[in-house]
Structure 1
Amino acid sequence: MALLPFVDVKAQGETRAAVVWLHGLGDSGHGFAPIVPELRLPLDAGIRFLFPHAPERPVTVNGGMRMRAWYDIKTMDLTNRADEDGVRESAAAVQALLDNLISEGISSERIILAGFSQGGVIALHLLPRLPYKLAGVMALSTYMCAPDKLKDESNTLNKATPVLIAHGSQDPVVPMAAGQQAYHTLKNAGFNVSWHDYRMPHSVCAQEVADISSFIQRRLLAQVTN
């Protein structure tokens, strides 16, 4: 499998940790790359950021228009919104990118997987299924695909991995209730999830950026400086 192309924001100095950040529907890796300086991480943090580009595919709800998408959306009904085959295909591609990082010498426990909207669906799909432990997962303005299969398909490797789930209370694209459902589904299954909500639409706000920065520093800086 060819690796997904990505925007590579390299660490200053030695790379000791990584964040893989997945964009939303119709965006690209370039969409979130400018957030790195806004996180105001220490210059010596040694964190490399990878922002993969989803493949281009026709999206049914957008009239079959081709755009970057992690999976097709055939209906806006949240129960059936995520095309499960597409989710699994993209999850495998993202896992291959994680595998490659590990092969380059970055411990899986020094990698955070993040995703916004569609990207968050992929992140939450991988969380319980990966064959190694991550440093953390951030799921932003998103929901779960096939929550009914969580019990049968999950392992325990990332049960204790901190998971930040964040959502806007004014989100017209993915209702906050969908994010809350993902939170409760994972919490009830024994995962280490925390909930954050903000007065914002389907976007990212300044307070959320600050909370993301704190999460990254708690999960990675303590580990890379020991």
Structure 2
Amino acid sequence: MSDLPVIELLSAEAAEVDASVIWLHGLGADGNDFVPVVPQLKLAADYAVRFVFPTAPSVPVTINNGYVMPAWYDILRLDNVRSIDEAGLRQSASKVQALIRRELDRGIDSERILLAGFSQGGAVCFEAGLSFGQRLGGIIALSTYFPTADSVAMQPVQQGIPILVCHGLMDPMVPEFLGRAAVESLGGMGLTPEYDTYPMAHEVCMPEIERVGGWIRTVLSH
């Protein structure tokens, strides 16, 4: 069972909730961070998508002098390979998988459950999604990296899972080459992620949001 507090929002007032998106925020943010994005995605009105926005536990973060803040895992050093607390990341991934199982228990088909995450949240989505034992609908990874690429216990059922990776070309926090490296790692696993870049820093922009909305509509139309 997941002990993460969540905010839930439906994309439409349709009678039937037909799909779910579990969306993870970045370091120092909370579940409110991406709530305003939902209407901007312009999803279909004839069925409802349940958006689930969990808030990470508050933990001391080494790179911020031990300051306690919402974080999916501790970051030890901001080097090119991102030294992190992998055990902490896997623990967060386990909690996200509990949220996936909660959606399954609420009647959502596993292939209509998507994971989305920004920065730290995206790294957790890679781990949680690829190691989950039932085929998921897709993974959206924004301005992130894949620190557990060499250790993730990828489940064969996730072969062919749709993946969208987006990154800012001027990102000073998570340099774009880390996004490219994530895409290369995914390719090495036999996956075929889509990769889009945008002229932005460590943030989201409207063209990216429109792209994500279109991608979700396409995935859920299958």
Output the TM-score relative to the length of structure 1. Answer: 0.94
Deviation string for 1:93-126 (max 9, x for gaps)?
A: 0000111110111111001100000000001112
CA offsets 1:117-140 (integer angstroms, 9 cap, x no match): 000000111232110111111000
Which one-letter code corresponds to 2:24 in the other structure? L
Aligned partners of 2:148 and 2:36: how far apart in 1? 32
Q: How many pairs does the alignment contain?
A: 220
- Larger relative helix fraction: 1
Match for residue 20 of structure 2? 18
Q: Which of 84, 93, 117 is the matching residue for 1:115?
A: 117
Whether contact under 8 Å (2:60, 2:68) holds in the other structure is: yes
Deviation at 1:40, TM superposition (A): 1.4
Corresponding position of 1:184: 184
Q: Which amino acid aligns with 1:169?
A: L
Q: CA RMSD in A?
A: 1.2
Give SS of 2:181's match: helix
Q: Is the 8 A contact 2:2 2:99 kept in 1?
A: no
Indicate the residue corresponding to 2:102 in structure 1. Answer: 100
Give the match's secondary structure for 2:83: coil
In 2, Cα distance between the equivalents of 1:128 and 1:109? Answer: 13
Take 1:78 and 1:186, find their aligned partners in 2: how far apart are those partners?
18
Aligned residue for 2:195?
Answer: 195
State how 1:37-186 maps to structure 2 within 5 Å. 37-150=39-152, 153-186=153-186
**How big is the shift at 1:41?**
1.5
Tell me if structure 1 keeps the 8 A contact 2:2–2:96: no
Amino acid in structure 1 at the alignment position of 2:71: A
2:192 alignment partner AA: N
Q: Deviation string for 1:67-89 (max 9, x for gaps)?
A: 10000011111424321011010
Shifted more, 80-89 versus 179-188: the winner is: 80-89
**Amino acid of the structure 2 residue aligned with 1:24:** G
Superposition deviation, residue 60 in structure 1: 0.8
- Same amino acid, percent of matched pairs: 41
| Structure 1 residue runs of 4 or more that deviate by more than 6 Å after TM superposition | none
Shift in Å at residue 47 of structure 1?
Answer: 0.6
Shift of residue 3, structure 1, vs aligned partner:
3.1
Aligned to 1:205: 205
Tell me by how many angstroms 1:157 deviates: 1.1
Are residues 1:7 and 2:16 paired? no
Could you tell me how far apart the structure 1 residues matched to 2:200 and 2:214 are? 20
Task: Output the amino acid matched with 1:141.
Answer: S
Deviations 1:145-199 (A, max 9, x none): 232224xx22211111110010000000000000000001111210121110000
TM-score normalised per structure 2: 0.95
- CA shift in 2, pair 1:170/1:80, >3 Å: closer
